[in-house]
């Protein structure tokens, strides 16, 4: 029994996405105390910036003609795919940066996606239970001035739920910059409610991941 956890916050010491992930993980560990939690911190140990292009080039290069860099990139992609496939459940903690997806997370996904086992058309990951815990400094909900500017959550959902076919739960906490940026002080009450809602959802999703695996094992 194992959980693979992928973290992508640039500021781990104060990270709201990691805090949500901790709630999910705690539920998992409580239900499966002997389970292994495999971690990839994409900030402490980033995927090399040229790994993806090397893995892609390798796909167009006969195996005997591949460079050392191409071989290393293909091997790393296989290692990422091994970790994803081996896990019984997946947990991703990913913030919104510059209105888009974390580049560290995108590189991790893109490289893993070069492996044939996790590439388009493969059903290896279909139905695997997963939680995406994501946080936004602002609030992009319907009716807000920047509605539609969160280009991360829909894209991550598309990749994880639709491209990989994961059985995905999305836990989102907006307005994490309230209390940090004084211009947002007026939203303190709303932000507190949103935080509490997200924490409740995180705990629920952790329980669901643990229960789903329990059922699979019993079957």
Ligand X SMILES: Cc1cc2nc3c(=O)[nH]c(=O)nc-3n(C[C@H](O)[C@H](O)[C@H](O)COP(=O)(O)O)c2cc1C
Q: Which residues bind ligand X (CB under 6 A)?
A: 9-11, 15-18, 95-99, 135-138, 176-177
Whole-angstrom distance, CA of residue 26 vs CA of residue 33: 10
The minimum distance between CB 59 and ligand X, in angstroms, equals: 32
Please state the three-class secondary structure of 133-178 as a single string: EEECCCCCCCCCCCCCCCCCHHHHHHHHHHHCCCEEEEEEECCCCC
Whole-angstrom distance, CA of residue 50 vs CA of residue 217: 39
Whole-angstrom distance, CA of residue 131 vs CA of residue 133: 6
45 vs 98 by CB, closer to ligand X:
98
The minimum distance between CB 7 and ligand X, in angstroms, equals: 9
Q: Which residue is nearest to ligand X (CB)?
A: 137
16 vs 191 by CB, closer to ligand X:
16
76 vs 136 by CB, closer to ligand X:
136
The minimum distance between CB 60 and ligand X, in angstroms, equals: 34
The minimum distance between CB 176 and ligand X, in angstroms, equals: 3
76 vs 202 by CB, closer to ligand X:
202
Q: Which residue has tokens 């709630």?
A: 23
């Amino acid at each position: 029994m194992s959980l693979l956890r992928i973290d992508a916050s640039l500021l781990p010491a104060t990270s709201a996405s990691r805090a949500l992930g901790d709630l999910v993980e705690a539920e998992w560990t409580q239900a499966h105390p002997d389970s292994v939690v495999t971690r990839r911190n994409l900030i402490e140990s980033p995927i090399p910036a040229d790994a993806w292009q090397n893995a892609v080039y390798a796909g167009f290069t006969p195996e005997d003609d591949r460079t050392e860099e191409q071989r290393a990139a293909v091997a790393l992609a296989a290692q990422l795919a091994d970790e994803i496939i081996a896990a019984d459940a997946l947990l991703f903690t990913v913030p919104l940066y510059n209105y888009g997806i974390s580049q560290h997370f995108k590189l991790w996904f893109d490289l893993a996606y070069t492996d044939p086992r996790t590439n388009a058309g493969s059903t290896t990951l279909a139905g695997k239970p997963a939680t995406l815990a994501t946080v936004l400094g602002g609030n992009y909900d319907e009716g807000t001035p920047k509605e539609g500017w969160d280009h991360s959550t829909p894209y991550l959902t598309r990749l994880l739920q639709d491209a990989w076919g994961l059985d995905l739960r999305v836990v989102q906490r907006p307005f994490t910059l309230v209390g940090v940026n004084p211009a947002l002080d007026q939203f303190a009450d709303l932000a507190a409610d949103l935080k509490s809602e997200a924490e409740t959802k995180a705990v629920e999703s952790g329980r669901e991941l643990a229960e789903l695996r329990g059922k699979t094992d019993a079957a």
